[in-house]
Amino acid sequence: MKILIVCVGNICRSPMAEAVLRRRLPDGFAISSAGLAARIGDGVHPVAAEVLREQGYAADDHQARQFERAMIDDAELVLTMEQRHSRALMALAPTLRGRLHLLGRWDGQREIRDPCGRPKASFEEAFEQIERAAQLWCARIA
Q: Among all residues, which ones are annotated catalytic?
A: 7, 13, 114
What phi and psi values does residue 7 have, to the nearest 5 degrees? -135, -150
Angle at 124 (CA atoms; ends 118, 18), nearest 5 degrees: 105
Instruction: Please name the residues in contact with 102: beta carbons below 8 A apart, sequence gap of 6 or more.
Output: 79, 80, 81, 82, 83, 86, 109, 110, 111
Task: Give the separation between CA 132 and CA 137, rounded to whole angstroms.
Answer: 9
